[in-house]
Amino acid sequence: MSELMLIVMRTAYQYKLKPNQEQVSTIELWLDLLRRQYNYRLGERFSWWSENRCPVNACPLIMPIPQLKNNPDYYSQKKDLVNTKDKFPEYKLVHSQVLQDCIKRVKLAFERWLKADKNGQRLGKPSFKGIGRYRSFTYPQIKQNCIEGNKINLPKIGKVKLIQHRSLPEGFQIKTVTIIRKADGYYVTRSLEDKSVPKFNSDVEPTTENTLLIDMGLKNFLVTS
């Protein structure tokens, strides 16, 4: 049986937001709480890394190796959010999935630092976020009908006015919504996905008859074979 593969088309549309004063206060509160959470979880990972790693040329061979502490990973840190909300009730104001996405950002930043790229180079060590340096948060899931007229309904924030200068393309679904603070205000970026692209047979051997080469450039928009 031949294997079928599905191509998924993705794009992103960004719009200017016009939140009222109460919504601005909520967004700013979330950004600061998420910044603190990001720094705390990143610190947990750095602590484990420094306490449990030992250079080969400096490992004390005459001493017993202590038992390793539990490595804080995405799942353990996400599970610990329950304790965070108990100790700091203000975190209950933040949408739960937005909090979980903050933990995911820590995971990705730490893994990019530890893992080398194809050239053997590693990215720089992730840094803690200072005040005002955490500028966005993401809803990993949101209702498809979140747009109502000229407003977007953001869970736990409310209906925020936006300048929708272009409509969403037909057939695309909203995957994620990210709120971003910039120098000139707030923006919303909607990540879109279109799954209507037909499946194709991956077992078909490419030939000059069933393959089209496309070269896109600046001088000429595209040139085909």
Residue ranges per structural domain of the chain: 4-204
- Sheet with strand 151-154: strands edge to edge: 136-139, 173-182, 185-194, 9-18, 158-163, 151-154, 147-148
The whole-angstrom separation of Cα 105 and Cα 6 is: 27
List average pLDDT for each run of 10 residues in the chain, which is 225 residues long.
50 92 97 97 88 59 57 91 95 96 94 76 83 94 88 94 84 90 94 70 67 66 63
pTM of the model: 0.76
pLDDT score recorded for residue 6: 45
pLDDT score recorded for residue 61: 54
- Cα torsion through 108, 113, 114, 117, rounded to 10: 100
DSSP three-state, residue 162: strand
pLDDT score recorded for residue 64: 54
Q: What is the 3-state secondary structure (H, E, C) of 171-222?
A: CCEEEEEEEEEECCEEEEEEEEEECCCCCEECCCCCCCCCCCCEEECCCCCE
At position 45, the amino acid (one-letter code) is R
Of the candidates 16, 26, 13, the residue with the CA atom closest to the CA atom of residue 137: 26
pLDDT score recorded for residue 2: 41
